[in-house]
Amino acid sequence: MKGEFSINTLRRRPSHTADLLLGRLPEKRNTHIMVTVGEEAIESETLMKDLLNAGTTIVRINCAHGSPEIWSEIIRRVKRTSQILEKPCRILMDLAGPKLRTGKLQAGPCVLKISPKKNAYGKVIYPALVWLSSPGAGSPPAHVSPDAILHVDGEELLSKLKVDDVVTLFDARGKQRTLKIISRYPIFSGVGYMAECSKAAYVKSGAKLFIKDKRRKLSAGHVVNIPPLKQFIKLRVDDLLSISRDGQNEENNLTSSTGAHRIACSSEYVFDSVKPGEPIAFDDGKIWGIIKATSTSEILVSITHAGPRGSKLGSEKSINIPRSNIRYEGLTSKDLIDLDFVANHADMVGVSFVRDVRDILLLRQELEKRKRRDLGISLKIETKEGFEKLPLLLLEAMKMPNPLGIMIARGDLAVECGWENMAYIQKEIISVCTAAHVPVIWATQVLESLVRSGVPTRAELTDVAEGMRTSCIMLNKGKCIVEAVSFLHRILSNHSTKSDAEFKPLALSSHDF
């Protein structure tokens, strides 16, 4: 396309730049579907096949979670499935960036509650469905939806199970419970069984299971690999929360000095930058507070907004301090280590919390070191500073040979810039990028109710309609993610004409850069 300056060439250029970054689109679609995946892609033998068949064209891996070993296996499965199905699928890996997060809370007990469905009077109306299989046998088939999954170490026990057998176990309270086998399924490695449990049970790792055959011969096994319960702090308005340097507290106990709940912060540089009186938000704005006092090792926060019955704050949740003059790193030391992996395995790299031109220059330098002038780049706009400097960021990034895109990370952006400004801000970003012929990725909580529960809200459908003006819509993971991708694919296929952004004077053009 070099040297061509016709009107038709300019009209084709936006789709050309999107193809360079995101790949070719399926027929009857003008918008890509990106899906975030994690360890569940390894645990399920069918998830990647189901996602690609449903319409996924890009898989996103978040480097803030998991490890190179997990990422390698996810990528291997994506590429293998893509090749078998002959459906192209690109891989985006998001660097964690200098994001502030809560530290890890002490792990809870390794116990799983099995709960039958009860009516208003407490009478059981439906037994709980429990999946039984060996630890390495894989996940239940896609059409099976158990209430609980028990991995059993006991080859003799599992090999003898038949439909209508009754498995006995003693739960964490010493209560005897029975599991009646109702169906048997062949799976990836061996077989799995669906059972019914009509009474509540608290099953812990090590719990013994056994059956007796007609000759009264006993076969036994025990439950393994039950993950620890996730711990959290319950915060209400006027509660005090003490934030300490990461590693200084491991439990969410009350401190003796202030009576405040305690949690750590993943980044140390924040303690030297914040001031009393500044607002602070947690978990994408679900909880708000005001900083009351600071020291070199602690920040004391008074909670000003939480749910009517309190809000839960857990490990690795976001922290935003929108009015503080915190000087963040561009690419962190972890980012540089992860970038080595990304450069060798991914099609695109997502750069988090881009704020100024120095971040772009550092990225260019690091990619040149790794000889990846062809690696796609997704700049994540998630701060007020990044939004206000968007034209400068684009002008600098467009000097690079790498395919370029912009992701509107609306979670952090809404907290940093104010919820009331988001409608204007996201339209402004789309207009600027359309003028620059740079593809946009529409992200954060898209069809979230559908992904989690299987039913979308009316507001989510309107949100998708706005996202159709972009080159790619991103969905986060959830138990109904395959259904959500299929639903979104149908919407995009039925409305295959992209609405162009209005070319009107931009508010950004009034900024003095």
User: Nearest Cα to 455, choosing from 482, 484, 476, 475?
Assistant: 484
Same fold, 7-32+328-510 and 232-320: no
pLDDT attached to residue 270: 86
Residue with tokens 């090749």: 83
Give the lowest-confidence range in 96-110, 293-307, 334-348, 472-486: 96-110
Q: Would you state the CATH architecture of domain 7-32+328-510?
A: Alpha-Beta Barrel (3.20)
Say what percent of the chain tops pLDDT 90: 68
CA 147 – CA 131 distance, rounded (Å):
8
Give the lowest-confidence range in 118-127, 347-356, 497-506: 497-506
> In this structure, what token pair is assigned to residue 50?
């189901």
Burial class of residue 104, CB neighbours in 10 A (0-12, 13-18, 19+): middle
Q: Which CATH class is domain 232-320?
A: mainly beta
Give the lowest-confidence range in 42-46, 113-117, 280-284: 42-46
CB neighbours (10 Å) of residue 376?
Answer: 22
The pLDDT tens digits of the residues spanning 336-369 come to 999 999 999 999 999 999 999 999 999 999 999 9
- For the chain, what are the domain ranges? 7-32+328-510, 111-224, 232-320
Q: What angle do CA 467, 446, 480 make, to 5 degrees?
A: 135
Residues whose CB is less than 8 angstroms from the CB of residue 170 and which lie 6 or more positions away in sequence, other chains included: 176, 177, 207, 208
- Is the pLDDT at 233 greater than 70? The verdict is yes
Q: What angle do CA 371, 373, 376 make, to 5 degrees?
A: 125
pLDDT attached to residue 297: 87
pLDDT attached to residue 148: 92
Q: Do you know the residue count of the chain?
A: 513
- Is the pLDDT at 302 greater than 50? The verdict is yes
pLDDT band with cut points at 50, 70 and 90 for residue 43: confident
**413: region left, alpha or beta (phi > 0 left; psi from -120 to 50 alpha):** alpha
The pLDDT tens digits of the residues spanning 395-421 come to 999 999 999 999 999 989 999 999 999
User: Nearest Cα to 352, choosing from 376, 329, 370?
Assistant: 329
pLDDT attached to residue 28: 86
pLDDT band with cut points at 50, 70 and 90 for residue 254: very low
pTM of the model: 0.81
